[in-house]
Amino acid sequence: MADLTLLLDAIQRGEPDAPGALLTQVYAELRQLARAKMAREQPGHTLQPTALVHEAWLRLGGEGQRWENRAHFFGAAAEAMRRILIDRARRKLAARHSGGVAHVDADEIEIAAPTQKDDELLAVHEALDAFAAHDAQKAEVVQLRYFAGLSIEETAAALGISERTAKRHWTYARAWLLDAMRVR
């Protein structure tokens, strides 16, 4: 953890080797998080952990982005992964509702998978946006747990809060989101 903080500080100071070192250090951790997230996906999905990490790094702004601390970096990574999965779910649902007439790009062909997971993911996304307006810190806990696959301990460390607080936030957020999704 301390090494990451030092690298983020070095990036802030403009040290030329720091961005590359940051990517080297966080790549394995981001890939592990992506692998954990993809393990919970439905069978037949075509997105691979490596692709999710690469796309998240690109969305983070690559080496030109500045992060304040570890929590800010992993929060941004979780948000990037969340948006990638949401965009992917939206594309699949849009294709399903297009009546079968659509331009097909060979690079975008995916093996069909049940769409219930996409509907659920979009429902969580919409409820989480509403929840973030209600309580931003608890919404960050959800992003790190649900979209980045962090454990309670990792989430607490990334946000700089105690594990008990992270557990309370997670419990409250799950109840709030479940209630919001029922109303939908």
Confidence of residue 138 (pLDDT cuts 50, 70, 90): very high
Assess contact for 176 and 131: CB atoms under 8 A: yes
The alpha-helical segments, DSSP class H, found in 14-69 are 18-39, 49-59
Tokens of 21: 């070192």
Quick: pLDDT tens for 7-61. Answer: 888 877 878 887 778 778 888 878 877 777 666 666 666 678 888 888 887 887 6
**Separation CA 71–CA 181 (nearest Å):** 27
Quick: pLDDT tens for 83-110. Answer: 887 888 778 777 666 555 454 443 443 4
Between the alpha carbon of residue 121 and those of residues 72, 90, 118, 159, the distances in Å are: 23, 9, 5, 24
pTM (2 d.p.): 0.57
Any idea where the domains of the chain sit in the sequence? 2-102+113-183
Tokens of 26: 């966080």
Give the number of other Cβ atoms within 10 Å of residue 46's Cβ: 12
Give the number of other Cβ atoms within 10 Å of residue 125's Cβ: 18
